[in-house]
Amino acid sequence: MQVTETLSEGLKHEFKVSVPATDLDAKADARLVDLKDKVRLNGFRPGKVPVAHLKKLYGRSVMAETIDETIRDTNTKIFTERGFRLASEPKVTMPTEEKEVEEILSGKTDLTYTVAIEVVPPITLADFKSFNVEKPVVDVLESDVDDAIKRIAEQSRPYSAKAEGAKAETGDRVTISFKGTINGEAFDGGTGEGIQLVIGSGQFIPGFEDQMVGIGVGETRTVKVSFPKNYASEKLAGQPAEFETTASAIEVPGEPVIDDEFAKSLGLESLDKLKEAARERLQAEFAGAIRQRVKRTLLDRLDESHKFEAPPSLVAEEFNLMWNSIKAEMESGGKTFADENTTEEAAKEEYQKIADRRVRLGLVLSEIGEKNKITVTDDEVSRAVIERARSMPGREKEVWDYYRNNANALAQLRAPIYEDKVVDFLLELANVTEKKVTREELFKEDEDGEKTAA
């Protein structure tokens, strides 16, 4: 066997490999000898079928299997001897001319092929004990708890009938029935009966609620509006429509009373218990934001400390995933790059940098995990599946079956668990200091770093 490196440019390598026909023939004959004891043919006793006869019957298929196995084994040897870690599947180029292929399968000609690869560069890990990571600390204030309860109460605000003859105002709740048409034709989803609408809440498409101001009980109005250009239904997006709308009730909002009775209406024993529950929810919310902030800071340190060329194929794959998602999101929202104060070229350049960062960080985290024997157990993955199922009440079995029968989905679930375990490992080594911040500072920072987080 002869191996010649024909290309070595950065992370790209290519080899020309030649395997003598005699070697392939010997391997194929060994397979046929092994097959002799397993195959059953009419007219022959078990194990007594002549190899020459088997070669006549199965020679081509056995040689094809031999070639596949030889290529796999040879490539593995080439990569292992040179210490290569592949960034993607090797690209093997075989002879395609019919005559040449026939001669190789019949054992008359040496097998010659090329294999092109892209490798992961050697990664020298930084001294993680030298990392300084700032951890924000946020107290849950009584005012935070009160605001949270007020938001809950606002959603449960009581309404009472408005005085007879009174007209609807912004903030009132009107009960309406409507029939919508476009160019005089009714359309799917354009009718409603007994729908409650708080004027000014933004529940309906723009312009509809404004035209409800001043309506009275029993009054019918023709509301003229246009569906937004980014409306979910393509058939309705941007279309002008008319709604024959009748009000059957008008109610004025009352002030919600936040007391024990209100807490009981939510299934809690008392107002103190409601405050306790609100505090716990806020603490969990803050903890999640703090975790994201610390993780992003740590990833920034990893990025700064590990500068190397990322495999172009992996960067291209990551970029395409992000870019396709961005384009789909913008199309569904009816937005353009100008709306985002940028251009398509500038956006592509930005996301190319993000893709490069993500790939490098992924390789660094993988290297850290491998060097320190960090693994994700099946139990940890199972717990993640259970949590995902619990988050979708009524569809638990569907979720469980989906992950059980979908290896790729399980891998996607395993990846963030692995990343978090590596992050926890690094935080044990790093110099973590705490800093008191306000709630506003915490979430402002979280928003600022959202796009670049890995």
Average pLDDT over residues 255-261: 90
Nearest to 34 by CA among 47, 25, 44: 47
- Check whether 116 has a pLDDT greater than 90: yes
What digits encode the pLDDT tens for the residues 186-232? 998 899 999 999 999 888 999 999 999 999 999 999 999 999 877 77
What pLDDT does 36 receive? 67
Boundaries of CATH 1.10.3120.10 in the chain? 269-448
Boundaries of CATH 3.10.50.40 in the chain? 159-253
Boundaries of CATH 3.30.70.1050 in the chain? 2-118
Query: What share of the chain in percent tops pLDDT 90?
Result: 69
What digits encode the pLDDT tens for the residues 299-319? 999 999 999 999 999 999 999
d(CA 27, CA 10): 36
| Assigned fold of 159-253 | Chitinase A; domain 3 (3.10.50)
- Check whether 13 has a pLDDT greater than 50: yes
The token pair that represents 295 in the structure block: 């993780």
What pLDDT does 33 receive? 78
DSSP 143-182: HHHHHHHHHHHHHT--EEEPPTTPPP-TT-EEEEEEEEEE
Q: How confident is the model at residue 292 (pLDDT cuts 50, 70, 90)?
A: very high
What pLDDT does 49 receive? 67
d(CA 190, CA 223): 12
Q: What is the pTM of this model?
A: 0.73
- Check whether 50 has a pLDDT greater than 80: no
What digits encode the pLDDT tens for the residues 363-388? 999 999 999 999 999 999 999 999 98
What digits encode the pLDDT tens for the residues 305-363? 999 999 999 999 999 999 999 988 887 767 788 888 889 999 999 999 999 999 999 99
Q: How confident is the model at residue 453 (pLDDT cuts 50, 70, 90)?
A: very low
The token pair that represents 348 in the structure block: 């592509």
d(CA 114, CA 112): 7
- Check whether 17 has a pLDDT greater than 90: yes
| Backbone CA torsion sign across 54, 55, 59, 62 | positive
d(CA 28, CA 63): 6
**Mean pLDDT, all residues of the chain:** 90
Superfamily of domain 269-448: Trigger factor, C-terminal domain (1.10.3120.10)
Task: Locate the DSSP E strands across 24-163.
Answer: 91-93, 111-118, 132-137, 159-161
Q: Which CATH class is domain 2-118?
A: alpha beta
